[in-house]
């Protein structure tokens, strides 16, 4: 068998491979550089986009806040104007109330001053009889004290019994006068009570009317302040030594009062009572305004009298 020996020169191939490896290394370096540049560009673009998005968001929020601030400021300004108007109105109301208060205070001050003067005048009128009596009795009291005192400042031993006897006699005389005065007052009081009792009880009693007594009674009917449809009835009786406890009389009158028959009083009777009432007002009430008001209420009252006896 033949043997063929072939020699192959690989030097150009090796050189070509070496050149190719260099080019591959350059390509690898270029790719790596490009990748780094792309990554850097992407990062820069991402940062730019994020920055722009953040700025846009901040600008949007700022715009919305500015719009809300403008709307709130406008509303605040309108409400401030309203509040200023209310302040002015309240200030006017305050001044008006102060003026009304001062006016009412002045009016009632004058009224109470007039009432005080009127009451002072009435008190003076009430005290005038006592003061007049005091003026009349002053000299008598002082003279009495002077007369009751001892007339002898110093006496001798011989005239001492005589002076004591004279002083004792004078004291007995004064005591007798005082006892007589008290007795007269007691007799006068007893006589007055007997006259009043005789008037109230009819003067005398018979065997048939031993338990029958006559007593003046006034029944006053007024409208209730709580219920307009309700009436309040008050019974008034005379109070003397005989009729001190009138509770039983008032109770009996209240019991039989619904059965009483009433009729209008005559003009003559009313005129007679009105004359006595006017005389009483003139003598007891010194203030003209109060007297006129009492007389007005008296004239506006309706009168009725009972036609049957209890």
Mean pLDDT by 10 residues, the chain (310 residues): 71 78 82 88 90 91 91 91 92 92 89 86 80 71 54 53 70 75 75 66 47 67 68 69 63 74 79 83 76 82 68
Looking at residue 150, its pLDDT comes to 47
Distance CA 192, CA 185 (A): 10
Query: What residues does each domain of the chain span?
Result: 15-117, 164-203, 217-306
Looking at residue 301, its pLDDT comes to 77
Looking at residue 285, its pLDDT comes to 73
Looking at residue 236, its pLDDT comes to 73
Looking at residue 159, its pLDDT comes to 61
DSSP the chain: ----------HHHHHHHHHHHHHHHHHHHHHHHHHHHHHHHHHHHHHHHHHHHHHHHHHHHHHHHHHHHHHHHHHHHHHHHHHHHHHHHHHHHHHHHHHHHHHHHHHHHHHHHHHHHHHHHHHHHHHHHHHHHHHHHHHHHHHHHHHHS-S-S---TTTHHHHHHHHHHHHHHHHHHHHHHHHHHHHHHHHHHHHHHHHHTTS---STTTT-----EEEEEEE-SS-TT-EEEEEEE---SSSS--HHHHHHHHHHGGG--EEEPPHHHHHHHHHHHHHHHHHH---HHHHHHHHHHHHHS--EEESS--
Among the listed residues 269, 261, 265, 259, the one whose alpha carbon sits nearest the alpha carbon of residue 307: 261
Looking at residue 93, its pLDDT comes to 93
Looking at residue 97, its pLDDT comes to 93
Looking at residue 100, its pLDDT comes to 92
The pairing of beta strand 262-264 with beta strand 304-306: antiparallel
Looking at residue 12, its pLDDT comes to 79
Looking at residue 284, its pLDDT comes to 74
């Amino acid at each position: 068998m033949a043997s063929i020996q072939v020699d192959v020169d690989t030097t150009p191939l090796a050189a070509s491979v070496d050149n190719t490896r260099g080019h591959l290394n350059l390509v690898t370096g270029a790719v790596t550089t490009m990748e780094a540049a792309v990554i850097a560009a992407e990062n820069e673009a991402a940062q730019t986009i994020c920055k722009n998005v953040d700025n846009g968001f901040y600008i949007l929020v700022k715009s919305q806040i500015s719009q809300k601030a403008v709307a709130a400021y406008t509303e605040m300004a309108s409400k401030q104007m309203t509040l200023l108007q209310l302040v002015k109105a309240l200030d006017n109301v305050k001044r008006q109330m102060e003026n009304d208060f001062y006016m009412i205070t002045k009016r009632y001050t004058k009224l109470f001053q007039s009432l005080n003067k009127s009451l002072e005048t009435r008190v003076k009128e009430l005290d005038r009889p006592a003061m007049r009596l005091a003026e009349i009795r002053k000299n008598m009291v002082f003279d009495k004290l002077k007369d009751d005192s001892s007339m002898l400042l110093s006496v001798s031993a011989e005239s001492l019994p005589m002076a004591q006897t004279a002083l004792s006699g004078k004291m007995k005389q004064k005591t007798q006068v005082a006892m007589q005065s008290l007795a007269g007052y007691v007799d006068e009081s007893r006589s007055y009570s007997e006259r009043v009792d005789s008037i109230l009880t009819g003067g005398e009693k018979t065997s048939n009317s031993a338990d029958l007594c006559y007593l003046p009674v006034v029944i006053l009917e007024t409208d209730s302040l709580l219920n307009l449809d309700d009436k309040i009835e008050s019974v008034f009786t005379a109070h003397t030594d005989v009729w001190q406890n009138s509770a039983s009389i008032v109770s009996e009158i209240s019991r039989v009062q619904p059965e009483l028959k009433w009729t209008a009083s005559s003009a003559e009777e009313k005129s007679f009572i009105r004359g006595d009432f006017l005389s009483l007002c003139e003598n007891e009430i010194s203030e003209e305004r109060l007297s006129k008001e009492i007389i007005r209420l008296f004239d506006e009252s309706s009168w009725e009298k009972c036609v049957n006896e209890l």
